[in-house]
Amino acid sequence: MKLIIKPNKGFGKIEVELDESLWKKIEELAERYGVSPERIIEIALIGEFKEPEGELEELEEKAKKLEREVWRLEMEYAPLRYKAYGLSEDNKVLAIELSGLIAENNQLRRLLRLPLNRNIELRKLISYYLQG
């Protein structure tokens, strides 16, 4: 692959011959970091590399410790989330049953010509449990 570097001003240009393996590595870096291959070459030529702050091994060890802590917490809270999910499903079933019983009660009140119960707060509660 032939790489041509042209200056912003002036007539000089640089032509460099790149072998295929080097170009593939440049493209892999460009994909990994989400920049153009031209930007990768520019960074390599200018030397805009970012040096890691602190010791890299120390930072990696801190990251590993944090990851272990996250997994420990995940193992601790996973059963609680499962129980909460089960309870929410039970609440949905109970809300459906309660809704059916309210409808049956209102039907019997109509049959007996009694005033209907319009319990709005109870219907809001049933609606809340059916949505969640």
User: What residues of the chain score a pLDDT lower than 50?
Assistant: none
pLDDT of 8: 72
The pTM assigned to this predicted structure is: 0.48
pLDDT at residue 118 in the model:
87
Instruction: Give the domain ranges of the chain.
Output: 2-46, 56-131
The pLDDT score that the predictor gives to residue 20 is 86
pLDDT at 103: 93
Q: Which pLDDT score, from 0 to 100, does residue 17 have?
A: 80
Please list, in sequence order, all residues whose beta carbon lies within 8 angstroms of the beta carbon of residue 42, skipping any fewer than 6 positions away: 48
Rounded to whole angstroms, the Cα distance separating 27 from 33 reads: 10
Q: DSSP letter for 45, please.
A: H
> Residue 19 contacts by C-beta under 8 Å, 6 or more apart in sequence?
1
User: What kind and span of H or E run contains 4?
Assistant: strand 2-5
Residue identified by tokens 């493209």 is 27
CA atoms of 132 and 123, how far apart (whole Å): 14
Amino acid 48: pLDDT: 67
